[in-house]
Amino acid sequence: AAIPQFPHDFLWGVSTSAHQIEGAADERGASVWDAFTTVPGNVKDGSTAAVACDHYHRYREDVALIRELGVGAYRFSVSWPRVLPTGSGSVHTAGLDFYDRLVDELCAAGIRPVPTLFHWDTPLVVQEAGGWLKRDTAERFADYAAVVAARLGDRVTRWITLNEPAEHTLLGHALGQHAPGERLLFDALPVAHHQLLAHGLAVRALRAAGASDIGIANSHGPTWPASADAEDTAAADFYDILLNRLFADPLLLGQYPDGIGELMPSPDLAADLRTISAPLDWYGINFYQPTKVGAPLPEGTAAEFSGVTLPPELPFSPREIDGYPVTDFGWPVVPDALTELLTAFRDRYGDGLPPLVITENGCSYEGLDDQERIDYLEGHLRALHRALEAGVDVRGYFVWSLLDNFEWAEGYRRRFGLVHVDYDTLERTPKASYDWLREALRAQRP
Ligand code: GCO
């Protein structure tokens, strides 16, 4: 079955990230993920992204795959340590040249390049100087944004500053299950503030370079209380603040959720919030699943969800969402939650909400004949269309991901690609979902 008719100027795309697909780690500066993956146990299959999909050398073939798919845009990320090996100072020319060639290849194929400037691969030198716990990193990031915009800004108009600062804060700094492996719990909150500040300063740098189409991509999902009991609804509300509002409120309302602001390290919080809430041209949402949350489990056991183990010290505990199919990753498939999320965003942020773009949506399943991925994508596109019909202003949709790739702490075990990658031969093979999406897009009226 085809998918509903979307507006004729709806932006269709696919998403990837540098560390997850590029490889060629020996041709760039080190990042926190290179260091993290060398520590035994950090990556469940013991792998690293030193080679990954070798996109760095095979990008022409991958651009051809994007072109044949028929999407109009490609969201990738620029590796900060590939452009500035120590995070600042001298530019690694060969690194910046790679993105120059990639953008030219995309433009020649009639595909709009949509670079994300930060997708978790902080230069290791920046991390060793304090990383996102240090305010100065926000300034370094803005300088890096200016370097990239100066080189690519004549062909790139649509920019994304950060990818999922919420997950990078939670997994990378509060729980230590992602790079840089800090287990700070609530002492990780400054990481949120400094990423938001970096975003605001980068917006300023991009506008100074002439950019006129700027967004951010953050992970969001509805948080459902485990029960109507007060302690469960309070826990779900708290998780909603940490996952959703901690970032969206400063960006879209210019204020932190109640009680959070005074926890943030800032010489002048009001001034920082003015920088953070610089007007956006659109807001990107990465959506995968809803989360069910309740009060901490009585026995205080750590609770596992979507591959993440939350320690008993946190004032909430995730709960299984049963009654729905689950992906190979154990993530529940609940398309209606996307409609719920988007209408809730519209209701919460009202006029403060710029146009939305789904910057990531996808699922992990094995196999080339991936009917489950077709069902997942079709279900979520129908749910997205219901949000459009309810009046939510959504302008685009990007599938995570073009290629099977390095799935962070899971290594290569989780396959999110429309295209299969054989990691021994690096051969790409389009899956059934690739063919399905290509036909579905052809059926969209121009
Ligand atoms: C992100 C995401 C991706 C993941 C995808 C599946 O940060 O945008 O984490 O990098 O690969 O969400 O988990």
Ligand 1 atom closest to Cα of residue 329: 13
Mean pLDDT across the stretch 26-52? Answer: 98
User: Which of 16, 373, 407 gets mutated to test ligand 1 (max ligand atoms within 8 A of its CB)?
Assistant: 407
Q: Are 271 and 260 in contact (CB under 8 A)?
A: no
Measure 347 CA to ligand 1 centroid, in angstroms: 26
pLDDT at residue 6 is higher than 80 = yes
ipTM: 0.94
pLDDT of residue 65: 99
pLDDT of residue 342: 98
pLDDT band at residue 164 under the 50/70/90 scheme: very high
Comparing 338 with 258, the larger pLDDT belongs to 338
400 annotated as a binding-site residue: yes
Comparing CA positions, the residue from 220, 213, 170, 212 lying closest to residue 195 is: 170
Comparing CA positions, the residue from 221, 96, 95, 86 lying closest to residue 150 is: 96
Phi-psi region of 58 (alpha: psi -120 to 50; beta: other; left: phi over 0): alpha
pLDDT band at residue 99 under the 50/70/90 scheme: very high
pLDDT band at residue 23 under the 50/70/90 scheme: very high
Measure 295 CA to ligand 1 centroid, in angstroms: 27
Ligand 1 atom closest to Cα of residue 416: 6
Of the listed ranges 27-36, 76-85, 199-208, 296-305, the least confidently predicted one is 296-305
Assess whether 439 carries a catalytic annotation.
no
Mean pLDDT across the stretch 328-352? Answer: 96
Cα angle 122, 73, 359; round to 5: 55
Q: Are 168 and 191 in contact (CB under 8 A)?
A: yes
20 annotated as a binding-site residue: yes
pLDDT band at residue 297 under the 50/70/90 scheme: confident
Stated pTM of the model: 0.97
- Per DSSP, 172 falls in state I
Residue position matching structure tokens 């729980």 = 175
Mean pLDDT across the stretch 208-214? Answer: 95
Percent of the chain with pLDDT over 70: 99
Q: Are 53 and 426 in contact (CB under 8 A)?
A: yes
pLDDT at residue 1 is higher than 70 = no
288 annotated as a binding-site residue: yes
Ligand 1 neighbourhood includes 286 CB (under 6 angstroms): yes
pLDDT at residue 302 is higher than 70 = no
Name the active-site residue from 105, 164, 182, 378. 164
